[in-house]
Structure formats: structure tokens, C-alpha cells
Amino acid sequence: MTKQNYTDEINRIKKEKEVTIVAHFYQKDEVFELADFSGDSLQLAKMAMEDKNSNLVFCGVGFMGESVKILSPQKRVFMPKLACCAMARMIDGEHYDTSVALLEKQGIKKDDIMPITYINSSAAVKARVGKMGGMVCTSSNAKKIIEKALKSGKKILFVPDKQLGQNIARINSLSSCVIGDGKDPKDADIICYNGFCSVHQLFTPDDVEFFRNKYPGIKIVSHPECRVDVCELSDFVGSTSQIIKYIQDLDVNQKVAVGTEYNLVNRLREKNTYVLSSTKPECPTMNETTLEDLYKTLKSIEDGKPLNEVFLDEDTTKWAKIALERMFEI
Ligand code: 13P
Ligand code: SF4
């Protein structure tokens, strides 16, 4: 089938079966172009909740489809690829329990811990966080959520992204540590789990220096999953949608180098936008979804034998929903 055939068929089935297609900004252009909604993790979760259609095809990574299912359990959520974010895979329920046990061993009582999980985590981790009185955050609201959590007077356990946790600590002049780094967690306001994004980890201070030397006056923009030393050197740090807005508001002649996933950066502006790297920072899991996969998913819905539907058990949904809803309340 040609690209046009796929596109026509996808649009036909979408209309006939009342399906909404949602895509994250990191999706391939061929998929992204067919989405009814696109956005950052927070926007996608909200949009999907408010959408009237009961069938939703989510083009992104596993935790995103799961979050929609948790927030709207009555909807049927399908994913063209059940691709799992590499960072989300770094922590499962058992790793979470082990981390809490380790902190208890180091003299921090469970009751004195306020857990916050980045949305890039499994439903099982979100549910554990919910049960312990904690909540979810995304890259666009992490600062606000942590500030609120600190008011509890408890220690923050931030999972799984150590970079996001440390970046928020830095801008709020708080102390932080990473589990296993040898520091005493009792001295830290924010205790981070040792997870990270393999894509955003690629950007380095040398890349910043290279672009600043090559193009004096260039703006450096990064995602808060980037290393702390990279964010520190950046002119702007924000979620994917915040990055897009910042760049759209710049003068067209303003050069900008961006530290985030390739598909997003490539789509931003024709001129004066660079990827903050000498390599191509593609997210392998986001890039797994193809136009053909999207077509096959829609066709399977039409044929009554849907592929890759997201299912979660009741208890996990209940507690993960509580953790997500606490975020929305803030
Ligand atoms: P955003 O919430 O900023 O879209 O980030 C999601 C993500 O996975 C970044 O790597
Ligand atoms: Fe996960 Fe990183 Fe890919 Fe985002 S870019 S989905 S954090 S692996």
C-alpha cells in the first residue's frame, strides 16, 4: 500500500468507527500528521479524558496509553505499538518497594516519605505512590508538584528520573541525592531514584559550548530530562510543549539549539534550529510506531478483532488514578 492509501484508509475507518487518534510530539511525521490531538504528556492525558469518542488510538509509549486508561477506564485504548519508554522500564513495583525499604534502613520512616513519580513510570509504580499518599508529576508541572509536596514537611522520594528530580532541586535551591550515590539521604530534601532517559542523557555541556562558539548569541533550549549541567547552561528548560511555544515566540532569525528528541526538533522551524548534538537523538521506542502499524490497529478495530488494547487490573487502576488525580487537583 502507498502512503496515500494508508492515509485514506486510516481517515475512513477513524470516521466510521468514531476513533480518536492521539500522538506525542516524538512520533514519526507520518504518524504525527494523522493525529486528532498532539501534545506533551500532561496535555495528552487531559485531552484524552475530555474527548467524546469511546475508542482512542494512542501513538506514543506504554505509560502514556496506560495513563489515559487509568483516567478514563470506560474508554477503550489501543496502541499501535506497545512500546515501553526506556526510563519507565528502569523501575517496577519491586524496585520501588526496595527503594523505600532501603531508605527505612537508613533511618527515614515510611510515614516520613512523600513519594512523587514522574508520569514516565508504569501503572504499578503510580499505584504504589498513590497508596503511600503521593502523586504523579509531568515535566511541565514538576516544579509546582514538588513545591506542594514539600509543604507536607516530609522527604520527597522522586522516581524514576534523577535528572528531573535534581533539576527541580537546583532551581528551588534544595538539596538532593541519588539513591546509591553514597550521600546520606537524611541530608537531602529530594531523594532521587537512579533512573534516566537514554536519549536526553546524550546532550552534554560540550555540545552547548560547541554551539555557543559556532553561533554566538544562539539560544540553548533543553528538556528537564537532560543532565543538570546541561540545563544549568540552557537559556530555557521546559516540557515538549513549552519548548515548542518558546521557539515559536522567538524571532525567525534567532538561532536556537534544542536538547530533545529529533522528530520534534526537526518539525519545529525550517531555519535556524539545530539539534543540540552531533548525533541524531531519536527515541527508539517512540520511533517504533509506523504508519502501517497505525493502519493495522484501525483495521483491527473495524474487523472486530482489536490489536494491542490496554488493560489494567482494578486495584492498580484505583490507586494509580488517585496519584494522577492528586496532580490534577494541584
Ligand atoms: P513531555 O511530557 O515533555 O512531552 O515529555 C515526555 C517525554 O517522554 C520526554 O522524553
Ligand atoms: Fe522515555 Fe526518553 Fe523516549 Fe521520553 S525520550 S519516551 S523519557 S526513552
Q: Among residues 293, 254, 317, which one has the least CA distance to residue 82? A: 293
Phi, psi dihedrals of residue 49, rounded to the nearest 5° = -65, -40
Is the C-beta atom of 13 inside 6 A of ligand 2? Answer: no
**Terminal-to-terminal C-alpha distance of the chain:** 47
Three-state secondary structure readout of 142-186: HHHHHHHHHCCCCEEEEECEHHHHHHHHHHCCCCEEECCCCCCHH
CA 260 to ligand 2: nearest atom: 5
As given in the structure block, the three cell numbers for residue 204 are: 552534554
Last residue within a domain, chosen from 196, 227, 254:
196
**pLDDT at residue 269 greater than cutoff 80:** no
Taking residues 288-297, what's their average pLDDT?
A: 97
CA 242 to ligand 1: nearest atom: 3
pLDDT at residue 82 in the model: 87
CA of 283 to the centre of ligand 2 (A): 6
Range 243-251 contact pairs with CB under 8 angstroms and sequence separation of 24 or more = 244/25, 244/268, 246/221, 247/221, 247/273, 250/219
Is the C-beta atom of 286 inside 6 A of ligand 2? Answer: yes
Nearest ligand to the C-alpha of residue 25? 1
Indicate whether 126 belongs to any domain: yes
Is the C-beta atom of 161 inside 6 A of ligand 1? Answer: no
Is the C-beta atom of 139 inside 6 A of ligand 1? Answer: yes
CB within 8 A of 86, min separation 6: which ones? 197, 198, 199, 284, 285
CA 39 to ligand 1: nearest atom: 4
Tell me: the pLDDT tens digits for 182-199? 999 999 999 999 999 999
CATH, residue 137: 3.40.50.10800
Indicate whether 146 belongs to any domain: yes
Indicate whether 322 belongs to any domain: no
pLDDT at residue 21 in the model: 97
Indicate whether 323 belongs to any domain: no
Residues 131 and 161 in one domain: yes
CA of 74 to the centre of ligand 1 (A): 25
Residues 146 and 190 in one domain: yes
Percent of the chain with pLDDT over 90: 94
CA distance 32 to 279: 23
CA distance 243 to 221: 7
Tell me: the pLDDT tens digits for 154-180? 999 999 999 999 999 999 999 999 999
Indicate whether 181 belongs to any domain: yes
Give the 3-state secondary structure of residue 139. Answer: coil
Is the C-beta atom of 188 inside 6 A of ligand 2? Answer: no
CA of 107 to the centre of ligand 2 (A): 33
pLDDT at residue 29 in the model: 96
Tell me: the pLDDT tens digits for 189-242? 999 999 999 999 999 999 999 999 999 999 999 999 999 999 999 999 999 999
CA distance 202 to 199: 6
Residues 24 and 45 in one domain: yes
Residues 74 and 96 in one domain: no
Residues 241 and 184 in one domain: no
pLDDT at residue 188 in the model: 96
pLDDT at residue 48 in the model: 83
Q: Which residue, judged by its Cα, is nearest atom 3 of ligand 2?
A: 283
Question: At 23, which helix (H) or strand (E)?
Answer: strand 19-24
pLDDT at residue 106 in the model: 95
Residues 292 and 270 in one domain: no
Three-state secondary structure readout of 62-104: HHHHHHHHHHCCCCEEECCCCCCCCCHHHCCHHHHHHHHHHHH
CB within 8 A of 100, min separation 6: which ones? 110, 113, 115, 132, 157
Percent of the chain with pLDDT over 70: 100
Residues 111 and 175 in one domain: yes
- Domain count along the chain: 3
Residues 128 and 34 in one domain: no
Q: Which domain holds residue 160?
A: 88-196
CA 120 to ligand 1: nearest atom: 8
Residues 188 and 214 in one domain: no
Residues 228 and 190 in one domain: no
